C-alpha cells in the first residue's frame, strides 16, 4: 500500500511535488484549504506525512497540526514545515503523539540575511523616503532633506545567531560593522565562530546601533521586544525584524518611534500578515515595511521544497532520522512507530 503525503493547496515550489511524486510507493495528495473539508479530513486520516505551510496566516486554523488534528490522524508519522518556522505546529503535542516534526532550517538563510541587510540600508539611507518624495506630484525637497547614515562603523546586535543570523553577521562585517550577538544555543566560543561577540541581551540593547531579530517564535521569545526593551535601546538606534510576528510588541515599537527615541525600523513580520493598511506603523515614514518576504525568493523556495521533499522521501523509504528534526526527544518513540508502519515485521533500527 502506498504511503501517503498530504499537503494543502498553498503555493509550493514545483520541486516538492516532483520529488515526492517520483518516489516509489509514495502517494501525494493535495487538498483544498477551503471548500471541501470532508475530503481533506479523509486524506489526512490515512496520511503518514503532513506537509504544512510555516506561514500562520495562509492556512485556516483547523488545519494547524494541533492535538485535535493529531487525534484524527492516527497513522501520522511526521509533520514537515515548509520553512524554518513551526508557527502552525504544536510541537509538544506532536512529541506526545510520537510524531516527528521536521523543518527546513537553513534553506532560506541567505535570502533572509540579504533582506535584513536590505532593510538596514533602506532605513539608514532613507531609500524608501526618497522614493516616495520623488514620486509625489509636489516637489520642493533637497538631497540633504533625505540625508542618511552609513552602515560602516556601526554596532550590529543580533538576537539569534543561527543559520540566518550567522549569515547576517558575515554580511555585517563585510560592511565594516562590529557584530555582537546573544543566543542561548551557543556559548562565547560558539558565537565567535559564527561571527559575533557574545554579550547578554541587556548589553546588546544598550550597545547596538541596529538590533536585528533572528530568533524563533516560542514561549521564551514572545513579547521579548517590549516597551522596556525598546526603552533600553540606544537613542537613535534602528530596529529590524525578519524573524516572526509577536516577538516584538507593535504598539510599543510605534511609541518608541513616534517619540523619536528610535530612528527607524525595518519590519518584514507582523502580528497579522499582511498588516491592515490602517496599521499605525505603516503611517510612519521612518518605517520600511515588507510582507514576510525575507525568505521568499525563487532560490529559497526551491531550496526549502527540495529539502522538505528529500527528508520525507528518505523517512518513508527506510525510516532515516531526519537531518532537520525539530523535536529530537521524540525520535525513540517515532522510530518505533515508523519501523512498524514501513514493515510490521521489522524491528526498529538506528
| Domain contains 328 | yes
User: pLDDT value at position 346?
Assistant: 58
| Domain contains 347 | no
Query: Is the confidence at residue 348, as pLDDT, over 60?
Result: no
Residues 178, 95, single domain; the answer is no
User: pLDDT value at position 343?
Assistant: 83
Query: Is the confidence at residue 83, as pLDDT, over 80?
Result: yes
145-198 per-position pLDDT tens digit: 999 999 999 999 999 999 999 999 999 999 999 999 999 999 999 999 999 999
Query: Is the confidence at residue 108, as pLDDT, over 60?
Result: yes
Residues 188, 213, single domain; the answer is yes
The Cα-based distances of 21 to 29, 174, 188, 309 in angstroms read 9, 42, 45, 9
Residues 54, 149, single domain; the answer is no
Residues 130, 230, single domain; the answer is yes
| Domain contains 78 | yes
The answer to whether 16 and 51 have CB atoms below 8 angstroms apart is: yes
Residue range(s) defining the domain that contains residue 76: 3-106+298-342
| Mean pLDDT (whole number) for 230-237 | 98
| Domain contains 348 | no
Residues 40, 127, single domain; the answer is no
User: pLDDT value at position 230?
Assistant: 98
pTM over 0.75: yes
Residues 235, 204, single domain; the answer is yes
CATH code of the domain covering residue 217: 3.40.50.720
| Domain contains 350 | no
Residue with C-alpha cell 501517503?
Answer: 4
Residues 236, 336, single domain; the answer is no
246-285 per-position pLDDT tens digit: 999 999 999 999 999 999 999 999 999 999 999 999 999 9
Q: Which residues contact 193 (CB under 8 A, 6 or more apart)?
A: none
Active-site residue (options: 273, 302, 306, 336): 273
| Domain contains 349 | no
Active-site residue (options: 194, 214, 244, 335): 244
End of a domain among 271, 289, 307? 289
Residues 84, 203, single domain; the answer is no
Residues 124, 149, single domain; the answer is yes
312-324 per-position pLDDT tens digit: 999 999 999 999 9
Active-site residue (options: 292, 301, 335, 337): 292
Residues 135, 233, single domain; the answer is yes
Residue with C-alpha cell 516584538?
Answer: 248
Residues 157, 131, single domain; the answer is yes
Does residue 244 have an active-site annotation? yes
Domains: count for the chain: 2
Binned at pLDDT 50, 70 and 90, residue 345 comes out as: low
In this structure, what DSSP letter does residue 26 have?
E
| Mean pLDDT (whole number) for 226-239 | 98
Does residue 92 have an active-site annotation? no
Does residue 114 have an active-site annotation? no
User: pLDDT value at position 349?
Assistant: 46
> Rounded to an integer, what distance in angstroms lies between the CA atom of residue 61 and that of residue 56?
8
| Domain contains 307 | yes
Query: Is the confidence at residue 347, as pLDDT, over 80?
Result: no
Dihedral over Cα of 249, 290, 221, 156: its sign: negative
Residues 125, 7, single domain; the answer is no
Amino acid at each position: 500500500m502506498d504511503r501517503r503525503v498530504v499537503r494543502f493547496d498553498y503555493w509550493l515550489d514545483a520541486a516538492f511535488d516532483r520529488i515526492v511524486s517520483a518516489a516509489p510507493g509514495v502517494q501525494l495528495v493535495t487538498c483544498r484549504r477551503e471548500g471541501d473539508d470532508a475530503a481533506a479530513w479523509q486524506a489526512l486520516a490515512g496520511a503518514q506525512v503532513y506537509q504544512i505551510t510555516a506561514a500562520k496566516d495562509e492556512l485556516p486554523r483547523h488545519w494547524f497540526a494541533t492535538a485535535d488534528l493529531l487525534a484524527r490522524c492516527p497513522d501520522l508519522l511526521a509533520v514537515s514545515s515548509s520553512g524554518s518556522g513551526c508557527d502552525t505546529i504544536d510541537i509538544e503535542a506532536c512529541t506526545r503523539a510520537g510524531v516527528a516534526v521536521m523543518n527546513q532550517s537553513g534553506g532560506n538563510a541567505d535570502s533572509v540575511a540579504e533582506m535584513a541587510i536590505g532593510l538596514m540600508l533602506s532605513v539608514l539611507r532613507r531609500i524608501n523616503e526618497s522614493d516616495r518624495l520623488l514620486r509625489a506630484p509636489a516637489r520642493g525637497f533637497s538631497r540633504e532633506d533625505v540625508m542618511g547614515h552609513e552602515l560602516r562603523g556601526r554596532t550590529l546586535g543580533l538576537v539569534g545567531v543561527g543559520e540566518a543570523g550567522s549569515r547576517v553577521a558575515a554580511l555585517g562585517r563585510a560592511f565594516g560593522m562590529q557584530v555582537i550577538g546573544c543566543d542561548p544555543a551557543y556559548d562565547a566560543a560558539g558565537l565567535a565562530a559564527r561571527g559575533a561577540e557574545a554579550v547578554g541581551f541587556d548589553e546588546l540593547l544598550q550597545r547596538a546601533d541596529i538590533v536585528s531579530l533572528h530568533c524563533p517564535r516560542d514561549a521564551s521569545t514572545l513579547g521579548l521586544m517590549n516597551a522596556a526593551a525598546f526603552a533600553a535601546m540606544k537613542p537613535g538606534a534602528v530596529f529590524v525584524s525578519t524573524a516572526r510576528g509577536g516577538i516584538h510588541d507593535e504598539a510599543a515599537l510605534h511609541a518608541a518611534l513616534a517619540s523619536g527615541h528610535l530612528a527607524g525600523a525595518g519590519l518584514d513580520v507582523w502580528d497579522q500578515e499582511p498588516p491592515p493598511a490602517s496599521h499605525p506603523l505603516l503611517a510612519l515614514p521612518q518605517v520600511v515595511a515588507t510582507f514576510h518576504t525575507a525568505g521568499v525568493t525563487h532560490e529559497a523556495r526551491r531550496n526549502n521544497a527540495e529539502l522538505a521533499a528529500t527528508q520525507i522521501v528518505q523517512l518513508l523509504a527506510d525510516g532515516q532520522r531526519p537531518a532537520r528534526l525539530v523535536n529530537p526527544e521524540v525520535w525513540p518513540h517515532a522510530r518505533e512507530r515508523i519501523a512498524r508502519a514501513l514493515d510490521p515485521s521489522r524491528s526498529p533500527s538506528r
